Amino acid sequence: MKAPAIHAPNPQRVTKAHEIRKLLLPLTAGILFTLCSPSRGQYIFSENFNGYTNGNQNALQYSTGLMVSYGGDLPGWQKAGDGAIHAVNQDSLGDYAPMFWQNNVITLTNGIPANN
């Protein structure tokens, strides 16, 4: 009985197939990323919180030395919790950032269509 012939793979063919795979993987990933990524430059929501008013000036924030207020209001937002809304005045000119302290919560009055 004659033994079956064993053929060694052609090294050039293996190398070419490997090179093709190395090129196809990033190309495929790039195409999928391009087709699946959201449009650039479009925001579904933006807020700067500079409408903060009626806050009571409190002590300075420990770690930054910035002014902290509590009990203020933000147009378009509902508030809940003790002394809500707390806010840090980042530049002493009204550039506010909400600060979530203990049980403070803020919620948009009207939701945004984020999943359409």
Average pLDDT, the chain: 78
The C-alpha atoms of residue 73 and residue 112 are separated, in whole angstroms, by 20
Give the residue with greater pLDDT, 107 vs 17: 107
> How would residue 78 be classed by pLDDT, with cut points 50, 70 and 90?
very high
Q: How confident is the model at residue 13 (pLDDT cuts 50, 70, 90)?
A: low
The confidence score (pLDDT) of residue 48 equals 87
Res 61: pLDDT: 86
Q: What is the pTM of this model?
A: 0.58
**Distance, C-alpha 15 to centroid of its chain:** 42
Distance from chain centroid for Cα 24: 30
Joined tokens for residue 102 = 């203990």
- Bridge partner residues of 42 (DSSP): none
- At 14-59, the pLDDT tens digits run 566 667 666 666 666 666 665 555 556 677 778 888 899 999 988 8
Three-state DSSP class for 26?
helix
Comparing 34-43, 69-78, 84-93, which segment has the lowest mean pLDDT?
34-43
* Percent of the chain topping pLDDT 90: 32
Q: Map out the domains of the chain as residue ranges.
A: 56-107
Closest residue by Cα to residue 74 from 57, 60, 55 = 55
Tell me the two tokens of residue 8.
């060694």
Query: Does residue 103 surpass a pLDDT of 90?
Result: yes
